Chains A and B, each alone.
Chain A
Amino acid sequence: MNTEAGRQAKFNQLAESYGTDLYRYAMWICGNDALAKDLVQETFLRAWKAMDSLKDFKAAKSWLITILRREYARTFERKVPKFTDVDTVVIPEDSELEPDDRTEIRQLRQSILTLAPKYREPLMMQVVLGYSCQEISVALDISKSAVMTQLFRAREQLKVKLQKDGVTGNVHELF
């Protein structure tokens, strides 16, 4: 396998391994499907140019996320449309759910988009990217205890919102 073919193969592996998760993360962070796709494509474009600097494939996910987060930060210089209806983005397998479950999922998605970024971002790092609390604290440059508090509050807020819609769960408060 020549160098160019090897580089393409490595890049394809990155795309297959992380493309979907990057899109999910971008979608939930920016709430806009078109912007999420742009962010992902720009991220991989930058990754393609910097492929030679990626020595350890195990570090690829955090590397790609760092690029994506930087790209997203730059969009604040551009006044882009804010949240889109996430249901317009989604999702064939929902048709397999019961109507009540579909309603609940839809309400949950809408609620997630209303979470403050400081709660939404660590939650997406954990659920979408599989980051541990320690990894999230490094990525966001905050303490691990702050990460745990934000994750806890994110879930509690979502439960409160679902309860208001008559769905589910006990809500716990910590003082």
Chain B
Amino acid sequence: MSMNFSEFILKLGAEPRNRDPEFLSARQSSPEFENAALEAGLFEDKLERAILISAPDGLLDEIKAIGLRPEPPARRTKWWPMAMAASVLIAVGAVGITWKTSKSWTSVEEYVVSHYRHDGEKFTELADGTSATDIQTVLSELNVEAAPALADIVGLIKYCPTPDGKGVHMILNTQTGPVTVIYMPETDVVDREMLAFDGLEAILVDMKKGSAAIIGPNEQRVTSLYAIVQDSILPLPGSS
């Protein structure tokens, strides 16, 4: 059965490089069909020229290098396809509780979401205040300290695993409610990157040493703490 012009135009628009025998036969059936096909071919040449852009210099080499590294790092963020064991100490005067876990995260974003889902709500409920001494003791192990502006509102602080080693999980008791901060002393992030998950919002903060994720119920709450978190966790004097 021969193809009418409308059918031919639809096939031409969908598959301009069609080599189907029925299509080729229809193309040759009249000058109207042939002209439409020629025109479509010219447009397709332009389309391909526009679409088939080059890959950036060095991209293929970077891809191949993935296989040469034992644990490939990220480009802007550290992406860590690793398994690690971590111990966590709840530093609120109780006997230390050790939590060993073996986790793999392929991005810092995945880590933040995964970690919060595992511990976030539980620790928020526990956040009833901790002493300044406890805060600085915990942070000093990571070679950082907290300025008073932050230390004064920390309701809970505990070590936690991060993609690149030990970090801390903090609950800040702000005037508008609790907010979670995960401090990652050895991890780089895209500064001010926003994440949304499970009805929560998070902002990633590039710090003087490492990075942090601030997690709360809405964008306004977490972004309002961006400056205080960034400015209040500082390397210990004399540390690298």
Contact = CB atoms under 8 A, between A and B. Distances in A.
Interface of A: 7-8, 11-12, 15-16, 19-20, 23-24, 27-28, 33, 37-38, 40-42, 44-46, 48-49, 77-80, 86, 89-93, 104-105, 108-109, 112, 124, 126-128, 133, 147-149, 151-153, 155-156, 158-159, 168-170, 172, 174
A161 to B, nearest CB: 12
Contacts of A20: 54-55, 59-60
B79 interface: yes
Contact of A27 (B10, B16, B53, B193): B53
A152 B13 CA distance: 4
Nearest to B6: A174
Given A37-B75, A41-B75, A7 B11 contact: no
Contacts of B51: 24, 28, 109, 112, 124, 127-128
Contacts of B113: 77
A15 to B, nearest CB: 4
Q: Which applies to chain A's interface (DSSP): helix, strand, loop or mixed? A: helix
Interface of B: 6, 9-11, 13-16, 36, 39, 42-43, 46-56, 59-60, 62-64, 66-68, 72, 75-76, 79, 81, 106-107, 109, 113, 193-197
B176 to A, nearest CB: 22
Contacts of B66: 11, 41, 44-45, 48
Contacts of B55: 19-20, 23-24
Contact of A23 (B6, B49, B59): B59
Contacts of A37: 56, 59, 75
Contacts of A174: 6, 9-10
Task: Return the 9 tightest CB-CB contacts between A and B, nearest first.
Answer: A152-B13, A148-B14, A108-B50, A79-B194, A151-B14, A20-B55, A15-B63, A23-B55, A11-B67
A12 B67 contact: yes
A89 B53 contact: yes
18 contacts: A8-B68, A20-B55, A28-B51, A38-B75, A48-B72, A77-B197, A92-B54, A105-B50, A108-B47, A112-B50, A127-B48, A148-B11, A149-B10, A153-B13, A155-B47, A158-B47, A168-B43, A169-B43
Nearest to A130: B17
Contacts of A159: 43
A16 B60 CA distance: 7
A19 B67 CA distance: 14
Contacts of B46: 104-105, 108, 168
B106 A45 contact: yes
